[in-house]
Amino acid sequence: MTAIADRYLERVVCPAKHRGLTDRADYLVRLTRERQAQGVIFFLLKFCDPHAFDYPYLKEALDREGVPSLLLEVEDRLPADGQLRTRFEAFVEMIQ
Amino acid sequence: MAEKDEAKEKRKIKTVAKMKEIMTAYYIDAKTAGQTGKKVAWITSGGPVEPLIAMDVIPVYPENHGAMVGASKMGADLCGKAEAMGYSSDLCSYARADIACAPINGGPIGGLPRPDMLVCCNNICGTVMKWYEVQARFFKVPLFILDTPVCHTGFSAEAKRYVKGQINEYIAFLEKACGKRFDYDRIKEVGRLSVQGQRLWQEILDTAMNRPAPISAFDAFFHLALIVTLRGTQQTVDYYKMLLAEMRERVAAGIGAVPREKYRLLWDNLPVWYRTKWLSEKFASQDACLVADTYTSAWCGALRYVDENDFLGTMAECHTRIYLNIGVDVMARQVMEMADKYDVDGIVMHSNRSCKPYSFGQYDIQRIIREQKGLPTLMIEADMVDERNFSEGQIETRIDAFIEVLKGKN
């Protein structure tokens, strides 16, 4: 039981819950640095309000770090294969 | 428009002028707080305002401001600005409008006064938490979140303990933010005035039980401002006494909110702020009066649980067991109780793109009402502030068709 509770308390913060004002941006920036990621893709599920509210400040935090990002808004069904591929390829080209 | 000006004049609510005066003075007071040394707190519409009043903090309601943005028809422009800032167009239009106003002092009153603190109660939605996080980062001020778990049917001992503990934290938060001790004597007085205001507001709404109803939901949308923003003050009590007296005079004189009241309807969800006049005239032209609504009555719903001799002690329950924080079947039951009380012929539901907790479940409530009461319901799809989501032709057709159904039943 304690382990389950700890997991809920210590996992990466879900945006629907409140823990500090910049925790999620701090985490994202830290992770980007640790893994030396050259870009971040935001996979935003339409109508998930908590994520949508966090997107602008998360993007801003990445911009400050000079890390480019791509926003992909998807509905419960993914868009056609080719469409996603084109966007990913364009993003990767931009990074290179 | 065959109606004589005289009759129209007679139907106008006279206290409106006083209300405008009070609200103007309130906003001037709030806008000049920087010069007078008073502290300003932004607070959500379902939040406990009374402790702020007891601490001489000026409460400011971004949601009330959102309503003003909508009524001024500035919603689409401001929401568009928020979208340019990266906020999805699916997000609440109050939040979008407010977030867009803050950096440019936009909107009908040139922006809200800068907050010294933010008080957010998530009893009405989870949106307010995200919205207030955005503003806490922007203004760099402390944020207090009062977390009220959804209580589907009852109010468990655990939930009660959890929320009550937070009321104490709220007081500690205010003491720190204001740099002074909380006044436990003053809150008793503020609490008494709050309860008195809520009772008066309920009595005013109840005058609509008369035929014809002297007040409509469209009037209530306007007169609501005080019970939301200045609850717990003598001024609010005095104003509502005046309004109640006027409503009683109207009942005695047989003055209705609409010229020929034939159909009595109940409104569900927030108003369509930029179209209240159009909707009000549309329904009136069909001899329909919106005699009650689930929205404005929410500010006296706590009367069920409040103990005015233990205001702080019952605050947790009052703020947790509100209309938007209960199960859909309990909501349906409350709507049906209102339908009986005000003796309505049908229900108008505003499926509000912005307000998901209010709109989610409406189709279930509609079905329950149809099955248990056989009452016809009309669903209008729109948005409270963002007028880009309002299709006049479609809504007009639906209203006309709905009135035809009512005619067939009578």
Cα(A90)–Cα(A87) distance, rounded to whole angstroms? Answer: 5
Residues in contact with B34: Cβ distance below 8 Å, sequence separation at least 6, in sequence order: B113, B114
pLDDT > 90: what percent of chain B? Answer: 94
- Chain A contact probe: residue of B133, B139, B143 with most A CBs at under 10 A: B133
Rounded to 5 degrees, φ, ψ at B350 are: -95, 110
**Across the beta sheet with B288-293, what order do the strands follow?**
B288-293, B263-268, B346-352, B377-382
B3 within domain boundaries: no
Contact A54 B85 (CB under 8 A): no
B1 within domain boundaries: no
Predicted confidence (pLDDT) per residue in B114-128, tens digit: 999 999 999 999 999
B4 within domain boundaries: no
- Give the domain CATH number at B87: 3.40.50.11890
pLDDT score of B143: 98
Q: Specify the number of domains making up chain B.
A: 2
Q: B198 and B311 share a domain? A: yes
Residues in contact with B27: Cβ distance below 8 Å, sequence separation at least 6, in sequence order: B109
Q: A73 and chain B: CB distance < 8 Å anywhere? A: yes
Identify the helix (H) or strand (E) that includes residue B129. Answer: helix B127-139
B319 within domain boundaries: yes
Identify the helix (H) or strand (E) that includes residue B278. Answer: helix B276-285
Residues in contact with B280: Cβ distance below 8 Å, sequence separation at least 6, in sequence order: B216, B218, B290
CB contacts of A57 in chain B (<8 Å) are: 134, 137
Q: B142 and chain A: CB distance < 8 Å anywhere? A: no
Q: B175 and B269 share a domain? A: no
Q: B215 and B158 share a domain? A: no
End position of a domain, from candidates B157, B184, B211: B184
Cα torsion at B125, B135, B54, B224 (round to 10°)?
Answer: -50
B71 within domain boundaries: yes
Which residues sit opposite B119 in a β-bridge? B43, B144
B2 within domain boundaries: no
CA angle B383, B73, B384 (to 5 degrees): 15
Q: Which residue of A has its CA nearest to B95?
A: A53
pLDDT score of A1: 92
Q: Identify the residue whose tokens are 């500690």.
A: B172
Chain A: closest CA distance from residue B85 (Å): 7
> What's the average model confidence in pLDDT over B140-165?
95
Q: A33 and chain B: CB distance < 8 Å anywhere? A: no
Predicted confidence (pLDDT) per residue in B263-315, tens digit: 999 999 999 999 999 999 999 999 999 999 999 999 988 899 999 999 999 99
Dig out the tokens for B19 from the structure: 């209300």
Q: B18 and B88 share a domain? A: yes
Q: B258 and B394 share a domain? A: yes
pLDDT score of B8: 85
Lowest model confidence (mean pLDDT) among A64-68, A84-88, B65-69, B99-103: A84-88
Residue among B88, B127, B137 whose CB faces A57 most closely:
B137
Dig out the tokens for B264 from the structure: 């009595």
Residue range of the domain that includes B354: 186-409
Q: Is residue B259 reached through a cis peptide bond, with omega within 30 degrees of 0 on the bond before it?
A: no
B400 within domain boundaries: yes
Cα(B241)–Cα(B126) distance, rounded to whole angstroms? Answer: 35
Contact A49 B130 (CB under 8 A): yes
B236 within domain boundaries: yes
Q: Which residues of B257-275 are buried (b: 16+ CB within 10 A; e: fewer)?
A: bbeebebbbbbbbbbbbbb
- Chain B contact probe: residue of A26, A43, A49 with most B CBs at under 10 A: A49
- Give the domain CATH number at B228: 3.40.50.11900
Q: Could you tell me the pTM of the whole model?
A: 0.95
- Residue B262 to residues B119, B140, B336, B342, B410, Cα–Cα distance (Å): 44, 54, 20, 14, 10
* Position B410 confidence tier, pLDDT thresholds 50, 70, 90: low
Dihedral sign (CA B33, B34, B38, B40): positive
Residue among A22, A47, A55 whose CB faces B86 most closely:
A55
Q: A57 and chain B: CB distance < 8 Å anywhere? A: yes
Residue among A22, A49, A55 whose CB faces B127 most closely:
A49
Size of interface A-B (CB pairs under 8 A): 47
Residue B2 above 60 pLDDT?
no
- Amino acid letter, residue B321: R
CB contacts of B131 in chain A (<8 Å) are: 53
Q: B28 and B128 share a domain? A: yes
Predicted confidence (pLDDT) per residue in B182-196, tens digit: 999 999 999 999 999
Q: B170 and B210 share a domain? A: no
Contact A16 B85 (CB under 8 A): no
Q: B244 and B369 share a domain? A: yes
In chain A, where the domains are located: 2-95
Per the prediction, chain B carries an average pLDDT of 95
Residue among B86, B131, B143 whose CB faces A59 most closely:
B86
pLDDT > 70: what percent of chain B? Answer: 99
More confident residue, B30 or B8: B30
End position of a domain, from candidates B153, B184, B215: B184
Residue among A21, A44, A49 whose CB faces B137 most closely:
A21
Q: Which residue of B has its CA nearest to A21?
A: B133
End position of a domain, from candidates B131, B149, B184: B184
Q: B169 and B253 share a domain? A: no
Q: B178 and B228 share a domain? A: no
User: What class does CATH assign to A2-95?
Assistant: alpha beta
Predicted confidence (pLDDT) per residue in B350-401, tens digit: 999 999 999 999 999 999 999 999 999 999 999 999 999 999 999 999 999 9
ipTM for this model: 0.94
Q: Identify the residue whose tokens are 């210590």.
A: A10
